[in-house]
Homo-oligomer: A and B are copies of this chain.
């Protein structure tokens, strides 16, 4: 039996014979947009119990119910890597969230730095974006997206067993710079805004015992490119691309 083409994230327990109610948006998508009816198959995942084949047992205009049949993929869990980034323009912020899901970040933390323009974010919209990215890329894990926090506050009560890397343009040697970080179980990557970090932030970061500066090559990268490049570099050196 082939894998169902449509994949849905549901905030509900999954198991053999488990019925799963659909949200209004999901019912609209399945029955009005995709024109599925009773008996059709979809794949569902809830972020903790793997991916399941499910059958439509009720199909209404504004509601519907699925019935879980069997697990078709195990639950994935990415390495314990947080991505901290300063929100930039809307499209590029959406992009960073999408790419963080695809590249296996465990948690997404928007941070306000000295040179960040954004005063607030739409956390619910970014979280929905993360769900959509997981649905489309065959992921079973959806990283939580935090509310915007000040970088200085986050650093003030940082868990010291979590190692933090940030891109420093003055360095050379991408792999070598990451190799200088200690062995650690828990990690975070910090990406600054387009204007970079302020001198004060840079100085503070360098002085912290749990921080290692890394290089992302000799060219100036946009913040969104830097996020993808840093996630790739980390996954290939320290994560699950090995």
B241 engages A103 (CB within 8 Å):
no
For the complex formed, measure the closest distance between the CB of A27 and the CB atoms of chain B, giving whole angstroms.
27
A137 adjacent to chain B (CB < 8 Å):
yes
A residues with CB within 8 A of B: 76, 95, 99, 102-104, 136-139, 173-176, 215-222, 225, 228-229, 232-233, 235-237, 239-242
The DSSP consensus for interface residues of chain A is loop
For the complex formed, measure the closest distance between the CB of A133 and the CB atoms of chain B, giving whole angstroms.
9
Contacts of A237 in B (CB 8 A): 175
Checking B103, B220, B242 against A175 with a beta-carbon cut-off of 8 angstroms, the contacting residue is: B242
CA distance A239 to B175 in the complex (A): 11
**Between-chain CB contacts (< 8 Å), 5 pairs:** A104-B219, A138-B219, A138-B220, A176-B242, A216-B241
Most buried by B among A139, A222, A241, A242: A241
A241 engages B173 (CB within 8 Å):
yes
For the complex formed, measure the closest distance between the CB of A134 and the CB atoms of chain B, giving whole angstroms.
10
For the complex formed, measure the closest distance between the CB of A238 and the CB atoms of chain B, giving whole angstroms.
11
CA distance A104 to B139 in the complex (A): 30
Checking B95, B99, B232, B240 against A233 with a beta-carbon cut-off of 8 angstroms, the contacting residue is: B232
B228 engages A232 (CB within 8 Å):
yes
Q: Tell me the nearest residue of chain B to A235, going by C-beta.
A: B217
CA distance A237 to B220 in the complex (A): 19
Beyond the given pairs A104-B219, A229-B232, 10 more chain A to chain B contacts, judged by CB atoms under 8 angstroms and listed by A's residue number, are A95-B95, A102-B225, A104-B218, A137-B222, A139-B220, A173-B241, A175-B237, A215-B241, A217-B240, A228-B232
A173 engages B225 (CB within 8 Å):
no
For the complex formed, measure the closest distance between the CB of A3 and the CB atoms of chain B, giving whole angstroms.
12
Contacts of A95 in B (CB 8 A): 95
